[in-house]
Amino acid sequence: MYAKIDLLTNGMIENYPKSVYMDNIRVRHFKDLILASKVSEEAFNDVLTSVFDDLIDFEKTGFIKTTDELSFPDRQKLFYWQRINSKGSKFQITINCPRCEKDFDFTIDLLKIKENRLENKIKEKIVKDEENNLELRLGMPNRLDHIEMNKFIKNYKENVFQQIEKMLYVEDIELLENELKSKDFSSKKEMLTQFSGKKIVDDKGNFTEALNEFDKVSMDNINEKNKIKNKILELKEKVKSNKEEIKKILKKYFFDKSLQEVDTVDIKNSNDLKFDDYTDYMLTLGTCIKNKPKNYVEYIINLQYKVLNQVELYAQDIYHGFDSKVTFKCKECGHKFEDELLLTPSFFLS
């Protein structure tokens, strides 16, 4: 039996549903969501789309063919409805009091969380970027826009990581380690066994004590041993001298300051590259742009602020969602305090 669920966008967007007709969630759906929530936020949202699309009557709902075309707050509204309808509106969490520093249980009632609905008609807007000779088409962002943005960010980070990887001589170090494994050591086999199980460079980019152990291992060809030792020392010096340059790259490409200040470069792959908070904010703001340039990340970072400001004003006009501020009262000391909870669907399954 399909129920009518009114969305937070409130019928204020052209060619977008005011309500969704949805069936009740099944046990198998909750099982899939719980498993996905343990993997990643992206995996969870993929499964959530699959579940929602399985439960919605799209013909009766109109305008959309998948819930990826809905805004995130509207998707959140659908999940809240399913959670309330199947397991009840109340949800218990554990909070730490900032005054007495003791934990206490607190019950959240989804029915009492304030909804912020759209009250005015929203239309797409054209913003001119004269410097780049572009007309940006602004509209309500949905999950498809976020997926597109994440692809741009992934490519951007991979390109930067390739620069860093070359400066860390990752391939050269791996080749040298493989070369060491293939060498014929003539004596002290117990030291060879101990040495061969260790890497020249640890996960943080620091050279290990393996070099000292290598000095203790005998080889028939002394010249060859010295040649390998010199290779290790040369790589060590190159990596050391490049660490400051790597920090400059991180700063240039707007990555988090904590990555620039560490003594050692702890970057194993492109996923370890984190943007600073304001860059993250600008990139997310840009999901309003429906015709994103191919060099999206570089474009947003270098965009004239007067253009970005128009995007920001549009984002304010289309704001809708749930009030994340919650007032708590400690059961131990009676202290009242306010905090924000990111009440995303995956939060209720963790």
Nearest-angstrom CA–CA distance, 52 and 345 = 12
Write down the pLDDT at residue 278. 93
One domain, residues 133 and 111: no
**Minimal CA–CA distance to 232: which of 266, 261, 198, 185?**
198
One domain, residues 12 and 115: yes
Write down the pLDDT at residue 205. 52
One domain, residues 109 and 214: no
One domain, residues 229 and 242: yes
**Minimal CA–CA distance to 97: which of 331, 344, 340?**
331
Residues in CB range of 6: below 8 A, 6 or more apart: 18, 19
One domain, residues 97 and 141: no
**How far, in Å, are 41, 52, 57, 251, 279 from residue 48 at the CA level?**
10, 6, 16, 36, 28
**Structural contact between residues 20 and 61, judged by C-beta atoms closer than 8 angstroms:** yes
One domain, residues 160 and 46: no
Write down the pLDDT at residue 186. 44
Nearest-angstrom CA–CA distance, 327 and 171 = 53
One domain, residues 111 and 23: yes
pTM over 0.85: no
Write down the pLDDT at residue 54. 97
Write down the pLDDT at residue 227. 73
One domain, residues 248 and 281: no
One domain, residues 80 and 31: yes
Write down the pLDDT at residue 280. 94
Residues in a beta bridge with 211: none
Count of the separate structural domains present in the chain: 3
One domain, residues 115 and 197: no
The residue range of the domain holding 13 is 3-119+321-349
One domain, residues 7 and 107: yes
**Percentage, residues of the chain above pLDDT 70:** 77
Q: In 3-state terms, what secondary structure has residue 322?
A: strand
Could you tell me the mean pLDDT of each successive run of 10 residues in the chain, 350 residues long?
A: 96 96 94 89 92 97 97 94 90 90 91 93 96 96 96 94 76 64 49 48 58 57 68 71 80 82 65 90 96 95 95 96 90 91 63
One domain, residues 32 and 113: yes
**Minimal CA–CA distance to 10: which of 119, 166, 93?**
119
Q: Are strands 19-22 and 125-129 parallel, antiparallel or unpaired?
A: unpaired
